[in-house]
Amino acid sequence: SQQGEEDPQALSIQEGENATMNCSYKTSINNLQWYRQNSGRGLVHLILIRSNEREKHSGRLRVTLDTSKKSSSLLITASRAADTASYFCATFKAAGNKLTFGGGTRVLVKP
């Protein structure tokens, strides 16, 4: 079973708009990470937020974490066609030293 579940499963927006996707998880975590996967490629790490952090920024990315609700969100501002990809959240627990991935959100940015 997957620890993280993303919502929505798919998202279609126009270039320049913001894209928001959510991730919910079930058990306590040490950190939560977001990855991007371009079609046919491996995953690329985007950003990590620790359990004691509430918000983090990296360029056009903004991640929030609410441990009381066991949820996170990823916001991509001013989207570009190159942001078209699948985005996955992954939860990390130090015990076991492994990540558990959600099912992903497929984002299409139309030029």
Partner 1 sequence: NAGVTQTPKFQVLKTGQSMTLQCAQDMNHNSMYWYRQDPGMGLRLIYYSASEGTTDKGEVPNGYNVSRLNKREFSLRLESAAPSQTSVYFCASTDLVADTQYFGPGTRLTVL
CA-closest candidate to residue 23, choices 75, 79, 88: 88
CA 42 – CA 44 distance, rounded (Å) = 7
Q: How many CB atoms lie within 10 A of CB 45?
A: 10
Q: Which of 26, 45, 57, 80 binds partner 1 (CB under 8 A)?
A: 45
Name the minimum Å distance from CB 57 to partner 1.
17
Four-residue CA torsion sign, 67, 102, 94, 75: negative
Q: Which of 21, 63, 84, 104 binds partner 1 (CB under 8 A)?
A: 104
Q: Which of 48, 61, 75, 108 binds partner 1 (CB under 8 A)?
A: 48
Enumerate binding residues for partner 1 (CB under 8 A): 1-2, 4, 30-31, 33, 35, 40-45, 48, 88, 90, 92, 97-104
